[in-house]
Structure 1
């Protein structure tokens, strides 16, 4: 059946190879269309395509809703939970012995990397797996994985990215020395309690140094709350004094903390979180690191449903390479380019 690209639906299958006006091959016959492929057709100014008769299967709907291929779900969830449980064991080991074993870290973190390294939709992946339980341990797992991804986006090789991911995974290990009544307090912390919370950076540095000697992981544990403008803690170091990996983990730490639900904080809309990271990149977070993170996270929103400030809902078709928060949106049978329609903006992304 011949159909205009604006009428394509996720799950449609191409009946023919698609070429643009210059003869460049765009998509192959038999390709199952998702929003990324539909976006490609629009970018190449292709108006009509031939697709097979539509058969919308439940599996396709589940894929769109979750952002993860259903074949991954039975494998991903237990490995993620194993990593969370393994993180808890590492915290207990550190609390009891004042140090941890490298092999235990490897056995906990490596299966996570092996499973997730091919899954590019980090947004859906973390939201799908995130729960209200075990915030401290889930946060450590998430920061480790995000740091692994971000390191690769910044040009680090696989071995370096793995080491950086492990540093992110261990960044909060010092919290094993903080009592649960302070860590999980639902009300605002007193000055004394906040002073104690800030000590987790020092405790973490001590634990990792005792375990592995001076290392990137030890430095990250100490510096992940420092800020580029010198307003962080514990030592108010700033700018180039901060280790590059500390800058990576700082971005991932802020992102994970803001998307997570905690006893004292509701998780925030993802777009608000990324806008906050963008704001922080002008003073607190390293701009190159933060912008690289945002640039690679934003395309994961392609195919997601959004609500505009007008109340209209639509689907993100394409993201802008520099105007991160002004994508191309399909609303019913027409398109709205927020990089042109400056009086409109996305209010909410529905995950």
Structure 2
């Protein structure tokens, strides 16, 4: 049995401990054999390491098994190579900017932050390309700075889907970039603790929302940007923090950023595989999220992602390949696919699912 960094978790490993959420409820039981879906779920928790009993598959086997040709095509494209290079530069710039804000009390330059995002997106071609590129970045696992930049990038795209004007788009983008700024005031040993958090430690981590609000208030930033930092962990059903707010008491921009925040956490690529299949992520949202997130936003977000893969080649869980031909509006994770001349409605075929985009 050994402690394993969560970035190194692979399908086939056996979990050697119960995993608890911050409400001290068991979310994954000891003895569970990890698969992609379970690993994606574990990455949603701020626990850096897990106890592993043994490996059923080697890391090399898992790498080979889960590699996606769709992902490889993106990573090998000149467009992605340029995006990666620019992204590297902007992450360093963003990190230096926040260091100056926190350590030297310099003012936050929202215009510069927005220009960073616009520059990164200008050559991506279209909105879903931006999502694909962010999901294929490989060497920023668990970086608060990279996650914050990703959320800003995806919020910029989401703003277009929502029909925001330029000023609204700028506010949402910057709110996304700065939503986790309060984590710079949380002790690193708590954020990276390789074990279950105590109640006291959990309360400290939750303070990052209030710390962020304080930092952005000191900088006299826009109301929505400040309240996004404070409320991006609030949920429509009252299950969030720090105040347990419900529905209309939560800032609209915070509601939007909360969706993108969770989406990026679930789809971030890992050592053992490329990005999680988008339809797995959509299914998790459908199972857990509709009561937690504003339907005006979550449905548009998931629908646009699902529809972006129309006509793409897919692989089903039984190994057959086909083409995605229709998205079911009331079951976005279970579209209609064409396989060997037969239209298969995945709403009716409960034992089948899309495993990957090819």
Match status 1:296 vs 2:304: yes
Aligned-partner Cα distance in 2 for 1:133–1:83? 16
C-alpha distance 179-107 of structure 1, shift in aligned 2 (>3 A): farther
CA contact (8 A) 1:173 1:204 kept: yes
Distance 2:76 2:354 in 1: 27
1:77 aligns with 2:91: no
Partner residue in 2 for 1:256: 264
Q: Is residue 329 from structure 1 mapped to residue 325 from structure 2 by the alignment? A: no
Q: Distance in 2 between matches of 1:249 and 1:180?
A: 24
- Equivalent residue of 1:255, what SS? helix
Conserved in 2, the CA contact under 8 Å of 1:307 and 1:313?
yes
Indicate the structure whose relative CO is greater, using CA pairs within 8 Å and at least 6 residues apart.
Answer: 2
The DSSP-based 3-state class of the residue aligned with 1:120 is helix
CA distance change for structure 1 residues 98 and 107 in 2, over 3 Å: closer, same or farther? same
Q: Which of these residues, 170, 181, 195, is aligned with residue 173 of structure 1?
A: 181
Q: Distance in 1 between matches of 2:141 and 2:216?
A: 26
Residues in 2 aligned to 1:305 and 1:292: alpha-carbon distance in whole angstroms: 22
Question: What is the match of residue 88 of structure 1?
Answer: 95
Alpha-carbon shift at residue 100 of structure 1 (Å)? 3.7
Q: Give the distance between the partners of 1:237 and 1:292, measured in 2 at CA.
A: 23
Cα gap change, 1:100 to 1:198, in 2 (>3 Å):
farther
Structure 1, 109-118 or 223-232: larger mean CA deviation: 109-118
Given the superposition, is the C-alpha separation of residues 216 and 135 from structure 1 closer, same or farther in structure 2, using an over 3 Å criterion? same
Task: Tell whether 2:197 aligns with 1:186.
Answer: no
After TM superposition, give the deviation of residue 243 of structure 1 in Å: 1.2
DSSP-derived class of the 2:355 partner: strand
> What is aligned with 1:120?
128
Aligned twin of 1:220 = 228
Q: How far apart are residue 244 of structure 1 and its match?
A: 1.1
Counterpart-to-counterpart distance in 2, 1:94 and 1:159: 24
**Aligned with 1:306 (options 315, 318, 331):** 315
Partner of 1:319 in structure 2?
326
2-side partners of 1:269 and 1:195: how far apart?
33
Residue in 2 that maps onto 1:147: 155
Residue pair 1:205, 1:219 contacting (<8 A) in 2 also? yes
Judged with a 3 Å threshold, the aligned counterparts in structure 2 of structure 1 residues 340 and 108 are, in CA distance, closer, same or farther, namely: closer
- Give 1:290 deviation, angstroms: 0.6
Matched, 1:234 2:216: no
Assess if the C-alpha contact under 8 Å between 2:236 and 2:247 holds in 1.
yes
Distance (whole Å) between structure 1 residues aligned to residue 334 and residue 218 of structure 2 = 48
Aligned mates of 1:77, 1:226 — CA distance in 2? 32
1:91-110 aligned at under 5 Å gives the runs 91-98=98-105, 100-102=107-109, 103-110=111-118
Determine the C-alpha separation between the residues in 1 that align with 2:320 and 2:200.
46
Report Cα offsets for 1:116-136 as digits up to 9, x if no partner. 473433442222224344521
Count how many residue pairs are aligned between Structure 1 and Structure 2. Answer: 286
One of 150, 159, 165 as aligned partner of 2:167: 159
Task: Tell me which structure has the larger Cα radius of gyration.
Answer: 1
Unaligned runs of 5+ in 1: 1-61
Superposition deviation, residue 219 in structure 1: 0.9
Which digits, 9 at most, give the CA deviation of each residue in 1:257-303, with x for residues without a partner?
1112589xx97543222112223443211112111100001123342
Root-mean-square deviation (Å)? 2.9
1:139-175: CA deviations, max 9, x gaps? 1111111111112211212332122111101100111
> Residue 101 of structure 1 aligns to a residue in which SS?
coil
